[in-house]
Structure 1
Amino acid sequence: MTENRLRLPPLNALKAFHAAARHASIRGAADELLVTPQAVSQQIKLLEDTLQVKLFERRGRSIEPTEAAILLARYVDAGFEELAEGVRRVTNRKYKDRITLNVSPYFATRYLLPQLETFREFVPQSDLRMTTMVETPDFARDDIDVAVQWGYGNWGDLEATLLLKDHKVICCAPEVAEKVKAPKDLLGQTLLHPVLQNTLWSDILRFLGLDLPETTSEIAFHDAATMRRATLSGMGMGLVSRADALKDIRSGDLVAPLGVELIRDMPDAQVPGFYLVLPRAHRRVSGVANFCDWVTAQDWEGTAT
């Protein structure tokens, strides 16, 4: 059976609309496209007829986009940007080998950066560009090929592969630890957590058999490093990644008043981790596929510094 697909409008009509929307002018669009204003108007009329949607209101010599045009312009603009990037990549060697990567700041610092030379050896011709946004990127808008993100593996239609579980240890400064002798004592402390996933503490308290209070004293932090510094400063009870927690406990800077193994056996679904995340189609690019093969083959559990 032949798959039914939406037939796209003619490219010339989309180009005319794209230019008119950006210039808010038929004349401006005509000057950019090196055609007559009448030709631009005809192409916009063709697009309106094809879509059965009015795109512009004529106000004398000016035009005003309708709500539908404003919405459509966003997608057409993104589409032309994607087309331009595709052309650059297949016609210019430096774009062919470029891999634009976004990595959770914590994973980048502790795990990825010390191992990047081994990737260079694996794919010596690669041109790797890296950003460190905490939030999951918009792969099209942010021009990202592949990402390593912290979370629980639920990224909708994106492909997500677990690289490393991020087990936490409940830690605090020594002076705070004096007030925490049993799990129920946690309820009287300020709870520090990451702003993107604020279910961590509620999952932990349930796991410990505690009834959740209607209100708790909480402070949310944008990234793990800031939350760790706040814990070290005595601001409250922090959820510190296991490798960091063990290091800080050995040095005497932090204490795990209820034990380092207290929440080690939480259900897997409630334990966050670092995931390789990307649109499935991106694996078709050889450089991206090479990076995915390399990063999933590493023993990240044993590479913490």
Structure 2
Amino acid sequence: MKPEVMSGNHTRLPPLNALRVFWAVTRLGSLRAAADELLVTPQAVSQQIKLLEDTLNIRLFERKGRIIEPTEQAIVLSHFVQAGFEEFAAGVRRVSNSSYRNRININVSPYFATRYLMERLEHFRDQVPGADLRLTTMINLKDFAADEVDVSIQWGFGTWKEYDVALLVRDPKVICCSPALAQRISTASDLTEMTLLHPVLARSLWPKVLRHLGIEVNEIAVEVEFQDAATMRRATISGMGVGLISKLDALVDIQAGQLVAPLGIDGLTAMDEEDVPGFYLVVPRAHKRAKVVAAFCDWITKQDWAAADDIA
């Protein structure tokens, strides 16, 4: 009887040794070369390949004399097996190499990094002197495994259900435009005639704002999106359209005379909290088992990030 691979909704993995042999044969292109690398006989390699084929109930290699060629299924499987063994290697390095033990790789929204985090990061170093911090700034949530990211701080609405998520601080917006454009906006309905600007990650924000103002979403005229909030802010100042600017930045630009809030600085303060974006700590639950990651999560969630409002 062939071993069952599927059990309910769970996949029963084949023997790890069979996968290791399969990966060697796929990389090296022959049973003998794989046997030499693994320090076993070609017969032993052939037995492991047959075991894997029987387990998966598929043919992995076509034998043509002394030459073997991977089937389409084998080529697909090889990519996943390669990724799996690379993950194993990364995990082994992480726990065995002392230089990795106190390392924490943090992926942070660029805005949060510059506006909130950088000025306070040394406080965490004071609490955990041995921590080796590696900081990257990206607007998208990175692949925690593939990119070796321990924790991430993301802008959004807290919708990452597969991870532990904690709100750090809200990011309230102000409807802003250049002084010239402001002369064409006297009521909220005038927004439907304007070009509306937003970052790529905020495609749902203008509809939320317009609904809050009592405007049908299908009345939006023109939208332009930008890769990040900083570029959108510059486009708003240049007069390209009406932008939703973070309140901290809006206050600075309005005071400088570069922007105007045609519907008032506090025009969106009554929005439902669930419709107001914010910066969230996002972390796989298992990553908190590492002491340095747990310490960082504990520290960052206890900070009063709203106090940064005083900077503006």
Q: TM-score, normalised by structure 2?
A: 0.90
- Contact 1:149 1:277 (8 Å CA) reproduced: yes
- Tell me whether 1:182 sits opposite 2:155 in the alignment: no
Q: In 2, Cα distance between the equivalents of 1:231 and 1:8?
A: 54
Partner secondary structure for residue 260 of structure 1 = coil
Partner secondary structure for residue 114 of structure 1 = coil
Mapping of 1:104-115 within 5 angstroms?
104-115=109-120
Q: In 1, Cα distance between the equivalents of 2:250 and 2:104?
A: 33
Q: In 2, Cα distance between the equivalents of 1:107 and 1:194?
A: 15
Query: What letter corresponds to residue 191 of structure 2 in structure 1?
Result: L
Aligned-residue RMSD, C-alpha: 1.9
Equivalence for 1:87: 92
User: Runs of 5+ in structure 2 lacking a partner?
Assistant: 1-8
- Tell me whether 1:139 sits opposite 2:144 in the alignment: yes
Q: In 2, Cα distance between the equivalents of 1:171 and 1:24?
A: 62
- Contact 1:58 1:64 (8 Å CA) reproduced: no
Of 242, 247, 256, the match for 1:251? 256
Shift of 1:282: 0.6
Equivalence for 2:5: none
Shift of 1:174: 0.9
Equivalence for 2:245: 240
- Contact 1:56 1:63 (8 Å CA) reproduced: yes
Mapping of 1:156-235 within 5 angstroms?
156-213=161-218, 216-235=221-240
Shift of 1:105: 0.9
Deviations 1:49-100 (A, max 9, x none): 1222333334551312323x34433332232222212221222111011101
Q: In 2, Cα distance between the equivalents of 1:22 and 1:215?
A: 54
Q: In 1, Cα distance between the equivalents of 2:33 and 2:230?
A: 50
- Contact 2:192 2:220 (8 Å CA) reproduced: no
- Contact 2:193 2:220 (8 Å CA) reproduced: no
Shift of 1:207: 0.8
Equivalence for 2:156: 151
Equivalence for 1:66: 72
| Bigger shift: residues 95-104 or 211-220 | 211-220
Query: What letter corresponds to residue 169 of structure 2 in structure 1?
Result: L
Shift of 1:9: 2.3
Equivalence for 2:16: 11
Q: In 1, Cα distance between the equivalents of 2:292 and 2:84?
A: 22
Equivalence for 2:6: none
Partner secondary structure for residue 218 of structure 2 = coil
Q: In 1, Cα distance between the equivalents of 2:30 and 2:270?
A: 63
Q: In 2, Cα distance between the equivalents of 1:52 and 1:187?
A: 59
Query: What letter corresponds to residue 156 of structure 2 in structure 1?
Result: G
Of 32, 51, 57, the match for 2:56? 51
Query: What letter corresponds to residue 262 of structure 1 in structure 2?
Result: G
- Contact 2:192 2:219 (8 Å CA) reproduced: no
